[in-house]
Amino acid sequence: MRAARRDRYGTPAVIRIEDVAVPTPADDEMLVRVHAATVSRTDCALLSAQPFIMRFMTGLRRPRTQTLGTDFAGRVEAIGARVGGFAVGDNVWGINDLGAGSHAEYLVISGGDSVARMPTGLSFEEAAASLEGAWYAHSILERAAFQNDRRVLINGATGAIGSALLQMCVYRGATVTAVGNTRNLDLLKSLGADRVIDYEQSDFTRDDHVHDYVFDTVGKSTFGACKRLLTPRGVYVSSEPGPGWQNPFLALLTPALGGKRVVFPVPTGRKAFLEVMRRLITERHFRPVIDRTVTLDAIQEAYAYVASGQKTGNVVLKLFG
C-alpha cells in the first residue's frame, strides 16, 4: 500500500510517499481500507511537534508513529477473532488525535478504540470532514458547560473547528456572532450565524455587543483583549494555550476570582463524540465544510496549505473511490 510517512519532525518537506506492507490486524483489531481522511491543524502539529510538549506523547527525539493522519472514513476489510460489533464491508469512521495512521491506503485499529459505523447518506469525504474539527468543537462546548439559548461570538468561524462549533451552537439555540474573512461571510450566514464580522475590515474585539461566550477557535486573540466582550459571568475559551501558556493558567485562576473566566478545552472522549456526531448528522443539524480535496501525491502541498492558516473548513485527502 501507499502511505504518507516521515522519520523525523519538521516541515511538510520531510513527508514522503512510501510503498509499505498492508498491516495485519491482531485478534482485537480490524483492517480498514481508508477512503478519505483530512489534513488538519492537528496533523500539522504532530508533523512539527509544536508545541514542544507534544513530544512527551509522540516521541521525544523522533516520532514513534511514522505514518501520518488522525481521522478517517473507510470500509472494513478484515476483522480479528475477538472484535465484536463490526462486520467485513461495514463503512466506518474514527479519530485518534495522537495518530491513527490514516494518511495511508489501509490502517488497523482496535475494535474498542474511537471507531464506529458511519452515518448513512454521507460520502467518505463528507464523513472524514465531520471528525477532527467537530471533535474539538464538541470538546469546547463540553468543557465550557455550555448553556443553551445564549449569546456567542466565534472567532475563526470559517475553520474546521469554527464552522463545526457555529453549527453546534445554532443547534443549541444560541444567538451567534461569527468572525470570518470577506469571501466567507455568506457561508457563515448559511451555517446559521445571526451576525457576521469581517476581520479584514474591522477588529472583532471592538464589537459593541456583549456575549455569554467568546470562543477563539484559531487562538489568535487573548482573554485580555476579549474580556470587554463578555457579560459579567461570561466565559472565554481559546483553542490554543496563548502567549506564555496563559490560558491553562487563567483557567485555574479566574474561576476562583468570580466573574468572567477562562476555560481551557482539554478534549473529551472520542468514542462518545462519534455517537453525538452521528445524531447531529442524521438529524440534519450539521454539514461539513470542505475547502478542497487532494490526493496522496499532493500531501506536502496540502500540509503547507493547512499550516498557512488560509483554509476554509476542511482539506480532505481522498485515497480510494
Task: Assess contact for 58 and 101: CB atoms under 8 A.
Answer: no
Q: What mean pLDDT value characterizes the chain?
A: 96
Helix (H) or strand (E) holding 173: none
pLDDT of residue 320: 86
Q: Determine the Cα–Cα distance for residues 72 and 163; give it in Å rounded to an integer.
A: 19
Which residues, including other chains, have CB under 8 Å from residue 176's CB and lie 6 or more apart?
A: 152, 153, 154, 166, 169, 170, 192, 193, 194, 195
Which of 241, 309, 298, 274 is CA-nearest to residue 118? 274
Q: Determine the Cα–Cα distance for residues 112 and 110; give it in Å rounded to an integer.
A: 5
Q: What is the pLDDT of residues 106-134, one digit of tens each?
A: 999 999 999 999 999 999 999 999 999 99
pLDDT under 70 in the chain at which residues?
321
pTM of the full structure:
0.95
Q: Please report the beta strands in 164-209, taking only residues with DSSP state E, as ranges in sequence order.
A: 175-180, 195-198
pLDDT of residue 183: 96
Instruction: Reduce the DSSP state of residue 234 to 3 states and report it.
Output: strand
Q: What is the pLDDT of residues 159-202, one digit of tens each?
A: 999 999 999 999 999 999 999 999 999 999 999 999 999 999 99
Task: Assess contact for 26 and 80: CB atoms under 8 A.
Answer: yes
pLDDT of residue 235: 98
Burial of 14 per CB tally in 10 Å (0-12, 13-18, 19+)? middle
- Letter string b/e over residues 64-94, b meaning 16 or more CB atoms within 10 A of that residue's CB: ebbbbbbbbbbbbbbbbeebeebeeebbbbb
Burial of 172 per CB tally in 10 Å (0-12, 13-18, 19+)? middle
pLDDT of residue 206: 96
What is the chain's alpha carbon radius of gyration, rounded to the nearest angstrom?
20
pLDDT of residue 156: 97
pLDDT of residue 233: 96
Q: Are strands 195-198 and 211-216 parallel, antiparallel or unpaired?
A: unpaired
pLDDT of residue 243: 93
pLDDT of residue 282: 96
**C-alpha neighbours within 13 Å on the C-beta side of residue 90:** 20
pLDDT of residue 54: 80
pLDDT of residue 248: 95
Q: Determine the Cα–Cα distance for residues 229 and 154; give it in Å rounded to an integer.
A: 12
pLDDT of residue 203: 97
